[in-house]
Structure 1
Amino acid sequence: MQYVRIRNLREDMDMTQTDMAKVLFISQRTYSYYESGGHDIPTEILVRLADFYDVSVDYLLERTEKKAVNR
């Protein structure tokens, strides 16, 4: 599964894969694998991404069209 929304959100913020890798404390190569679907994204990283982008994990995983987080 490719993580298109994660790539789109990153690009919308004019960030590189290297920028996001630094935010997540992982290597750029690992982040690239996540974005391309080469590796499944661990739950901890999904939660960090959702928090960073202020969206739900379900949105990142394309389980919903709603970005908003129920708080």
Structure 2
Amino acid sequence: MNRIKELRESKGKTLAQMSDETGITDNNLSRYEHDLRNPKLKTLCAIADYFDVSLDYLLGRTDEKWINKKAHSATTENA
């Protein structure tokens, strides 16, 4: 789960700030970042939404932040 730490740091957020903004405890976030614990699917989805990335990117399955960039653009334009 190194992507969580990379994304968090790229946003300039501390564990405490991310915890406040996501409702995930900073202890759990730290465990996810250090591969000491695996988040449940619901938590993974919340983290992916927080960073506006795909689950595949978050899990390290791809280097593309969004698999279907065209669909993502349409979604964010309508929001």
2:42 is the alignment partner of 1:57: no
User: Secondary structure of 2:39's partner?
Assistant: coil
Alignment root-mean-square deviation, CA: 1.2
**Scaled by the length of structure 1, what TM-score is found?**
0.86
Equivalent position of 2:2 in the other structure: 4
Contact 1:46 1:57 in 2 (8 A): yes
| 1:50 partner letter | A
**Scaled by the length of structure 2, what TM-score is found?**
0.78
Q: Percent same amino acid at aligned positions?
A: 36
Q: Higher Cα Rg: structure 1 or 2?
A: 2
User: Secondary structure of 2:44's partner?
Assistant: helix
1:26 CA displacement: 2.4
Aligned partner of 2:20 among 22, 45, 58: 22
User: Secondary structure of 1:47's partner?
Assistant: helix
Query: With CA pairs under 8 Å and 6+ residues apart, which has the higher RCO, 1 or 2?
Result: 1
Structure 1 portions without partners, runs of 5+: none
Aligned partner of 1:67 among 42, 65, 68: 65
Instruction: Please state which structure has a larger fraction of its residues in helix.
Output: 2
